[in-house]
Amino acid sequence: MHAPATMTRTWPMLAALGGGLVLAALAAGAGGAPRVVLAGLGVAALGWGVLSLRSGRPLAPRTVLATSVASLLLGGVAVATGGLADVPGLPLAAAGLFLAAVALPVARAARGRARDRRGPEASAAARTAHAAPATAPAREARRSLVGLAIGAVLVSALATPALAATEAGRTAVPHGEHGGPGLHGGPGGPGGDGTGADPAPSDPAHDH
């Protein structure tokens, strides 16, 4: 397998995990029908990510592709018509990015599966065209680990601020960074009141 392919093989699944977390957190702060839809999508994304990681390939690529594209389109329409006015923008954009990151490689997988259905000659020809020299297991393992670590950092870098910007994340503002004087010199240090219980949510030092 080519090095980039080895490194990015798990990225759609990792993106599904990140997207699932953000969608679930959005659902926690939403109400009515959006809550049901967001929670359903979030749980589905988390489940698909775990099961696909376990099986080593994107499961049900056509269904996932259709669901991702439909969700992106519906989300776009809902944002344009003000249907998601109460939902914060950053997590919504992050969820959209995660869905796109799932949809693109899955579309490729769906195309590969369609090629397989066309006949053994076609898929054999495609396999020959994409054949890569055999790689040593140790090198393959290293590449796959490095790819996984990069993917995990990318997903976390997008998911963490998105989660912090959700309703659930905003209610969790004053945690851990505002201890009493002398404990630490955190971002709230000079501006803090020294009580360790600074509740001001509008303090820029509280922005995550």
Partner 1 sequence: MKNSPNRIAATVFGAVYVLVGLLGFAVTGGVDLIATEGGLLLGIFAVNPLHNVAHLAIGGALLIAGLSTVAAAKTVNTIVGAAYLLLGVVGFFIAGTPANILALNTPDHFLHLASAIALLGVGLGAERTARVATA
Chain residues binding partner 1 by CB under 8 A are 9-10, 13-14, 17-18, 21, 24-25, 28, 50, 53-56, 137-138, 141-142, 144-145, 148-149, 151-153, 155-157, 159-160, 163-164, 166, 168-169, 171-180, 183-186, 196, 208
Q: How far is the CB of 76 from partner 1 (least distance, A)?
A: 27
* Complex with partner 1: residue 36 or 149, whichever CB lies closer: 149
Instruction: Find the shortest distance in angstroms from Cβ 71 to partner 1.
Output: 20
Shortest Cβ 81–partner 1 spacing (Å) = 29
133 sits in the region (left: phi over 0; alpha: psi -120 to 50; else beta) called beta
| CB closer to partner 1, 83 vs 167 | 167
d(CA 41, CA 44): 5
**Minimum CB–partner distance for residue 70 and partner 1 (Å):** 25
Which residue intervals of 81-133 are DSSP H helices? 89-118, 120-129
Tokens of residue 80, six digits: 């344009």
Spell 11-22 as b/e; 16+ CB within 10 A means b: bbbbbbbbbbbb
Residue among 71 and 166 whose Cβ is closer to partner 1 = 166
What are the backbone angles phi and psi of residue 88, rounded to the nearest 5°? -60, 145
Q: Which is nearer to partner 1, 56 or 76 (CB)?
A: 56
Kindly state the tokens that stand for 149. Answer: 């670590």
- Contact at 8 Å (CB) between 4 and 144? no
| Minimum CB–partner distance for residue 33 and partner 1 (Å) | 22
